[in-house]
Amino acid sequence: MSVEAGTTQEASIEAKETGGIAALGINGGMFFAQLLNFIVVLLIFWKWVYRPIVTMLDRRTETIEKSLKQAKEIDERLLKLDTERTTVLAQAQQEAVELLSRTHAEAESQHQATMAKAKEEVRRLITEGKAQLIKEKEFMIKETRDEIAALAIEVAKKVVQENIDKTRSQVLAKETIETMLDV
C-alpha cells in the first residue's frame, strides 16, 4: 500500500502541475465512478426505501381514511339510533301517559259504577229488611193478639167454672198478665 501510495502522490502532484481542470482534481474516470456511486444509492433508495415506505404510507392513509369513514358512518348511525331511541321513548312515554290516564278514567268509572251498584244493593237490602221486619212485627202482633185472646178465653172459662172470690180472681188476673208478659 505504501509503495502504491508513493506512486499515487506523484500522480496527484503531476495532475496538479498540469493546471486547469486537473488542478481541481477533476478526472473523467473519477467523475463516472462517483456518478455510479450516486446511481447505486439512488437505485437502493428507490427500490428498497422509497417504494415500500410510500406504498406503506399510502396503505396506511387509505386504512386511516377508511377507518375514519367507518367511524363517521358509525357515528351517524349512532346519532340516528339515538334520535330513533329518543323518538321511540317519547312516543312510549306519551302512550304510557295516555294509557295511564285512560286506565285511571276507566278505573274511576268502574269504581263509580261499583259504588252505585253497591249503594243500590244496600238500599235494596235495607228496604227488604225493613219490609221483612214490618212483616214479622205484624205477624208477632197478630200472634200476641191470638195468645191474649186464647188466655182471655181460658181465664173466662176458669171464672165461669170455679167460684172464685175476689182475691182468687185477682191472682188469676195477675198470672194471666205475667204469662202474657212472658210471651
Partner 1 sequence: MMISVGAEPIFFLGTFPVTNSMLTAWIVVALFFICGWFIRKQASLAPKGMMNFVDWVIEFLLTEAEKVTGDRERTRKFFPLCATLFFFILISNWMGLLPGVGSIGIHETHAGESVLIPLFRPATSDLNFTLAIAIFSILATHIFGIFTFGFLTHASKFFNVRGIIRAIRRGPMDVVVAIVEFFVGLLEIVSEGAKAVSLALRLFGNVFAGEVLLTVMYSLVSFFIPLPFLFLELLVGLIQATVFSMLVLVFLKSMTDNLHGEEESEHTTH
Interface stretch with partner 1, choices 29-37, 91-99, 135-143, 144-152 (CB under 8 A): 29-37
The answer to the question of residue 42 lying near partner 1 (CB under 8 A) is: yes
DSSP category for residue 19:
-
Nearer to partner 1, 49 or 173 (CB): 49
Longest dimension (CA), the chain: 202
- The answer for residues whose C-beta is within 8 angstroms of residue 15's C-beta and 6 or more apart is 22, 23, 25, 27
How far is Cα 113 from Cα 36, in angstroms, rounded to an integer?
110
The answer to the question of residue 68 lying near partner 1 (CB under 8 A) is: no
The answer to the question of residue 24 lying near partner 1 (CB under 8 A) is: yes
How far is Cα 157 from Cα 177, in angstroms, rounded to an integer?
16
Nearer to partner 1, 6 or 129 (CB): 6
Burial class of residue 155 (count of CB atoms within 10 Å of its CB; 0-12, 13-18, 19+): middle
Interface stretch with partner 1, choices 15-23, 93-101, 134-142, 175-183 (CB under 8 A): 15-23
Q: In the complex, which residues of this chain contact partner 1 (CB under 8 A)? A: 1-2, 4-9, 11-13, 15-16, 22-27, 29-35, 37-42, 44-50, 52-54, 56-57, 59-60, 63
